[in-house]
Structure 1
Amino acid sequence: MAEIKLPPQDLDAEKSVLGSLMIDKNAISKVADILSSQDFYASAHQKIYRAILNLFNKNEPIDILSVTSVLKTEKEIEEVGGSSYLGDLINVVPSSAHIGHYAKIVREKRVLRDLISISSELQEMVFEKGTSAENLIDQAEQKIFSVSLKSSDRNFIPIKEELKEAYERMEKLHQGEKRLRGVTTGFDDLDNYLSGFQRSDLIILGARPSLGKTTLALDIARAAASKGGVPVGIFSIEMSREQIVDRLIAAEAQVPLWRLRTGRLSADIDFELIQGALDRLSRVPIFIDDSPAPNIMQIRSIARRLQAEHGLGLLIIDYVQLIMSLNNSDNIVQQFTEISHGLKSLAKELNIPILAVSQLNRSVDQRDIKVPRLSDLRETGSWEQDADVVLLIYRKDRDRLEPALEEENTTSIIIAKHRNGPTGTVDVKFDPEKVTFRPIEKKKVMAEEF
């Protein structure tokens, strides 16, 4: 006769947690953020913990009498074993000193049960017709990462839990303790409009070819990683890892890229600058993947792993038209819509900003004055709708046969869309030799209310 296996659980640890909570009114603050009622295996223990959380949320005392009262009100006292069982729980532990240890055991057993449940779901999916191996792997990763990264399975957070933190954040911003709320771009005027790149935002950086999209994206990556200490992941689908690294070194060292790539360097000065750049770049958390034509599932998988291992804070994709679509349709708009939806979903899942570099459609080239517009994204799927911020690059000197001297290499970063703030234009100077953009020294631009 086959042995019946019980799901992973530790009833003694569950009893110790509940007993500790009823003998120490302050113990709940040590476990409320890591335990939910569903983490308990025994149904009675789930009900008791819910009663304790009920009291905690109302800021009422937690002891055997108050817990009994809540359970009676909910008509669950008999289902948990009566008042005598609550008394037994108190006698299980002499003190609450080890409640954190017991709570981790309870949580770990819940994770193991979840993994068993996930494996059963995946086993069923394997036998379903029409389920591709790639789709199955993606769903498996998503489910497993959701188990490993979440300490609680509550989906809805009461607004009152966020209000205090929001007020403290606004107060610090007002007092100047931290003027930037998001990830820095490295350009003060642009940060002033956006307050940096915000968590869960999808930011589109669009332009026609050869206007500096990759250069600006790499400048932002260097600033975020070096100034902000933010781990940055770069999917370089167009350029090789070697090309990206060469550009980062040239921009950081302020040495012309052509000299760096051909080896025609000044023996002393250039090597000294490059050595300093190598030293600085070796300490910044930038991670590069140059896999050719990844699909959205592969991008999600690598990004999840990068966040789990290194705390990913900004993801850059250069550029989105080279992402392989999983949609078998010949409709290019449908393919790009699938990709834009996928990237926005990933930004929310990982709670990080994603900067997606995009080519604009050819309608820009057909205009006399080639100032890009938000509508130039419309033929490339739903980027315009999915994006929280849209940045467009415009080179003033490209529109004139004889540009004025002050306009040479002057580039406008047009904030064409800003879901939660003002739009506007920030002018920067492009250095084509050192492949980097620089702020233009001028009176500081202040974003007005919108």
Structure 2
Amino acid sequence: MSNLVRLEAPEAETLRLAPHNLEAEQALLGAVLVNNEAFDRVSDFLEPGHFFEALHGRIFEVIAKLLRAGKVATPITLKTYLPDLDLGGMTVPQYLVRLAANATTIINAAEYGRTIYELALRRNLISIGEGMVNRAYDAPVDESPRAQIEDAERKLYGLAESGRFEGGFQSFASALKIAIDMASEAFKRDGGLSGTATGLHDLDQKMGGLQRSDLVILAGRPAMGKTALATNIAYNIAKAWRGERAADGLMKTVEGGIVGFFSLEMSAEQLATRIVAEQSNIPSFKIRRGDISPEEFGKLHEAVAEMQSIPLHIDQSGGISIAQLAARARRLKRQYGLDFLVVDYLQLLTGASKKGENRVQELTEITTGLKALAKELNVPIMALSQLSRQVEQRDDKRPQLADLRESGSIEQDADVVMFVFREEYYLQNKEPKPGTEDHLKWQTEMDRVHGKAEVIIGKQRHGPTGSVQLQFDANVTRFSTLAKEDYLPERLE
């Protein structure tokens, strides 16, 4: 025993209290008790849970209930609703009187409120951090680190978005300035669009481009070309991207945009092959088989070289939830920037509800989440959607809003609903016997619709509904602006 080393007693660690400011809490409550108008300066962002001292939070809660009921909040009216506690030789009614007596002015009430709110945020950050550490140490076997990261991101963004004190009403003059600035930017931008140009002239003229914070639903039956149109628009926007360094040192988008593409159905390789085919004008099946000529290989090489530098980011994960999609979109914007987001397609996302439960309710959660994400990131989100089979049972196959699957939530949350329709697809499956009169009529109809597609705008909050005719090359699945038959170029003098 004599060989044992004597262990020194550890020094007492300094106790670290969570960030708080009791004086600010007392000053705010005192100001409200003296003049109830002080409550209006903090009521839109401050909540009882933001107070460090539980009694202060309870006092603030009772004040809020009294004032919202149209009553007066004073030490006398409050004492009935508060617990009878011994506060170191002072009762709660006496403490209320002391708070009111020590209050001097309500001028700093809003500043006191912000101090309380920001300290509460710091305490919540500490709580989230401690939770992350403890969860990482004792994680369940079936929970991956990636799931923990996404959960932590969700909590952090939830914290960032809750109770912002810069919200609330704004003057009409400030709203008017934003509107005029947007119109000014549209005037300066090529094409005079208020939103992001899709690269399809007629569609841009109808919509004014893709507007920030909008949820755009692009729907259609299989083989109509939904994904092709989405990839065309995504590539056009990414290819047109041009940025400039702002005064704060950050890169600001001037033309086009940085694009994120969630391909839930196709792999990144399939999507890339399709885009290469569109841009090189070589069918994708020939590219996959290597059945191309030396001339075509040169065109392919040129297209790939041009595409390597465009800001288009693809996520090929299948079966992800709306929460996971939101977390990855936020991360993309933080790391690289983001101006346009595509989700292909809506019905492949999952909500928080368990499988087997009400699918309509789950889809409502998904569309509401996508609309909220568009507003949060301030970017247009285009979500592709399947249409129900009832389209096939009608003589007129043009889709309508009622054809959307679980249409209630999709139609309600969307700012724009567009349908892709190709009459050629339906006609070619109805070919009559060659040599008959019916076949001649059919051939005439096929010539009329060959290589054409129709984008039907069924809903648009910012502009008119209607349809736009586009050129469609089925071999390379490429949409482009349809050349007008009656268009004649201007004669040069």
When Rg is computed on C-alpha atoms for both structures, the one with the higher figure is: 2
The structure-2 alpha-carbon separation of the partners of 1:284 and 1:201, relative to structure 1 and needing over 3 Å to count, comes to same
Q: Per-residue deviation at 1:369?
A: 1.5
Structure 1 residues 335 and 149, CA gap change in structure 2 (3 angstroms): closer
User: 1:423 and 2:465 equivalent?
Assistant: yes
2:328 maps to 302
Distance of 2:391 and 2:379 partners within structure 1: 31
- How far did 1:266 drift? 0.8
Distance between the aligned counterparts of 1:332 and 1:381, measured in 2?
Answer: 12
Post-superposition offset of 1:406: 3.0
TM-score normalized with structure 2 length: 0.64
* Contact 2:421 2:454 (C-alpha < 8 Å) held by counterparts: yes
The DSSP-based 3-state class of the residue aligned with 1:416 is strand
1:87-126 deviation digits (Å, cap 9, x = unpaired): xxxxxxxxxxxxxxxxxxxxx9998555225447889999
Deviations 1:141-168 (A, max 9, x none): 1342467799x75223623333223223
Partner-residue secondary structure (3-state), 1:390: strand
Number of residue-to-residue matches in the alignment: 355
- Aligned-pair RMSD on alpha carbons? 3.8
What's the offset of the Cα at 1:330?
3.2
Q: Bigger shift: 171-180 or 298-307?
A: 171-180
Change (3 A) 1:394 1:74: same
1:388-431, Cα deviation, whole Å (9 max, x unpaired): 10010111223434233131131100000001211111111211
CA contact (8 A) 1:335 1:381 kept: no
Q: How does 1:151-230 map to 2 (within 5 A)?
A: 153-156=165-168, 158-159=170-171, 160-173=173-186, 179-228=192-241, 229-230=256-257
Task: Give the Cα–Cα distance (whole angstroms) in 1 for the partners of residues 267 and 471 of structure 2.
Answer: 26
Gaps of 5+ in 1: 10-35, 38-70, 81-107, 127-131, 445-450
Tell me the amino acid that sits aligned with residue 328 of structure 2: I
- Structure 2: 5+ residue runs without aligned partners? 1-11, 21-44, 47-102, 113-117, 137-141, 242-255, 431-441, 488-493
The range that moved more, 360-369 or 378-387, is 378-387
How many Å apart are 1:279 and its aligned residue? 1.4
Looking at structure 1, the residues matched to 467 and 204 of structure 2 have their Cα atoms a distance apart, in angstroms, of 12
The question of whether the paired residues in 2 share the 8 Å contact of 1:394 and 1:412 is answered with yes
- Could you tell me whether the CA contact under 8 Å between 1:211 and 1:395 is conserved in 2? yes
Is this contact kept in 2: 1:340–1:381, CA < 8 A? no
The whole-number CA distance in structure 2 between the counterparts of 1:177 and 1:441 is: 20
1:315 match: 341
Contact 2:278–2:476, Cα closer than 8 Å, also in 1: yes
Alignment of 1:200-279 (within 5 A): 200-228=213-241, 229-267=256-294, 269-279=295-305
Mapping of residues 103-142 of structure 1, within 5 Å: 115-116=125-126, 118-119=128-129, 140-142=152-154
Aligned to 2:452: 410
Q: Describe the superposition over 1:269-321 as per-residue Cα deviations: whole angstroms up to 9, x where unpaired.
A: 21221111111111111111111211111111111111111111111111111
Equivalent pair of 2:258/2:339 in contact (CA under 8 Å): yes
Q: Distance in 2 between matches of 1:291 and 1:76?
A: 51
How far did 1:195 drift? 1.2
Relative to structure 1, is the Cα distance of residues 139 and 285 closer, same or farther in structure 2, using a 3 angstrom cutoff?
A: same
State the alpha-carbon separation in 2 of the partners of residues 399 and 198 from structure 1. Answer: 33
Q: Tell me, in whole angstroms, the C-alpha distance in 2 between the residues paired with 1:121 and 1:354.
A: 33
Aligned to 2:403: 376
How is 1:44-59 mapped onto 2 (pairs within 5 angstroms)?
Answer: none
Q: Aligned partners of 1:301, 1:354: CA distance in 2, in Å? A: 15
Whole-Å separation in 2 of the counterparts to 1:369 and 1:209: 16
Cα distance change of structure 1 residues 307 and 171 upon mapping to structure 2, 3 Å threshold:
closer
1:220 maps to a residue whose letter is I
Closer/same/farther in 2, CA of residues 278 and 177 from structure 1, 3 Å limit:
closer
| Rounded Cα–Cα distance in structure 2 between residues aligned with 1:372 and 1:330 | 28
Contact 2:386 2:405 in 1 (8 A): no
Q: What is the identity, as a one-letter code, of the residue corresponding to 2:16?
A: K
The answer to whether the 8 A contact 2:224-2:422 is kept is: yes
- CA distance in 1 between counterparts of 2:165 and 2:148 reads 23
SS in structure 1 of the partner of residue 464 of structure 2: coil
Aligned mates of 2:107, 2:333 — CA distance in 1: 45
Change (3 A) 1:250 1:175: closer
- Say if 1:118 and 1:357 are closer, same or farther in 2 by CA, change over 3 A: same
The alignment status of 1:293 with 2:319, answered yes or no, reads yes
Distance of aligned partners of 1:176 and 1:250 in 2 relative to their CA distance in 1, 3 Å threshold: closer
Change in Cα spacing, 1:409 to 1:157, as seen in structure 2 (3 Å) is same
Query: For residue 97 of structure 2, what is the aligned residue in structure 1?
Result: none
Distance 1:175 1:304 in 2: 29
Letter in 1 for 2:325: I
- Contact 2:220–2:421, Cα closer than 8 Å, also in 1: yes
Structure 1 284/109 Cα, relative in aligned 2: closer, same or farther at 3 Å? farther
Instruction: State TM-score, norm by structure 1.
Output: 0.69
